A = this chain, B = another copy of it.
């Protein structure tokens, strides 16, 4: 089911079987729990199977910056072994299912299943592209366009994993968390959200996003999904 997460590679039945075996070890984690904290030295590896998580950093004065959203199928710390320790933390935003396994198991799996290895590499590279686009988004778009762009991106990423239903998707974030990912204050986040709502561009209620007219919304945001590398994914 969640095996279609590796968009970058053609997976065989055996590959999928192996992934299912990996996912079988999943654990439940409540919302707002650190999956891994800054400074930790671990040889284990964490993977979000369902729910939602976020990479974040806290500044000395207590402010927070959310640098990435982890959707189902993404790793928290696939490479921490190389760097030695985490330079940021990862927390759940919603009740989630998480696989905690060893670096060794992942290494062996990638050795034996090159398609999986390729797929994971693809996910990792798209993640980097997303982080770069967030930089563009924060630096060169006003808050209303920026927020719209963010909702567009998540829409596409959710669609990628089949999580868009009835023209909308679950995004269980508070306004404060939204503000921390956009780099603005909660008060301003609300005001921007209100203006988007008033223009019927988006609905955001009970942790659910609905975009009545995606094309119009993308035009408003100046969204170009090229950086998500979707076409490559579909065509293999």
A183 nearest CB neighbor, chain B only? B139
B84 touching A135 by the CB < 8 A rule? no
Inter-chain contact B65/A229, CB cutoff 8 Å:
no
Q: Which segment of A102-110, A117-125, A152-160, A210-218 sits at the interface?
A: A117-125
Binds B, one of A26-34, A52-60, A169-177, A192-200: A52-60
- What number of copies of this chain does the assembly contain? 2
Whether B138 and A68, one on each chain, are in contact in the complex, defined by CB atoms closer than 8 angstroms, is no
Contact across chains for A132 and B55 when beta carbons are under 8 A apart? yes
Interface flags, A193-236, vs B, CB<8A=1, else 0: 00000000000000000000000000000100011010110000
Query: Does A134 count as interface, using CB distance less than 8 angstroms?
Result: yes
- Interface 0/1 of A59-81, CB less than 8 Å to B: 11001110110000000000100
- Establish whether residues B55 and A87, one from each chain, have CB atoms under 8 Å apart when the complex forms: no
Q: Give chain B residues whose Cβ lies under 8 Å from the Cβ of A126.
A: 83
Q: Is the CB of B84 within 8 A of A229?
A: yes
Asked whether A131 is an interface residue with its Cβ less than 8 Å from the other chain, the reply is yes
With A59-B222, A82-B121, A222-B59 given, is the CB distance from A65 to B182 under 8 Å?
A: no
Majority DSSP secondary structure for residues of A touching B: helix
Query: Separation in Å of the A223 CB from the closest CB of chain B?
Result: 11
A interface residues, how many (CB within 8 angstroms): 43
Known: A138-B138, A139-B182. 12 other contacts (CB 8 A): A59-B222, A63-B140, A67-B135, A83-B125, A83-B129, A83-B232, A84-B231, A85-B229, A128-B131, A131-B132, A134-B135, A135-B183
A sample of 29 cross-chain residue pairs with beta-carbon separation below 8 angstroms, ordered by A number, consists of A55-B132, A57-B132, A57-B136, A59-B140, A59-B222, A67-B132, A67-B135, A67-B136, A68-B132, A82-B118, A82-B125, A83-B126, A83-B129, A83-B232, A84-B231, A84-B232, A85-B229, A87-B129, A88-B129, A88-B132, A88-B227, A131-B131, A131-B135, A134-B135, A135-B135, A135-B138, A138-B138, A139-B184, A140-B183
The 10 A-B residue pairs with the shortest CB-CB distance in the complex, in nearest-first order = A139-B183, A84-B232, A87-B227, A65-B136, A67-B132, A138-B138, A67-B135, A65-B140, A131-B131, A83-B229
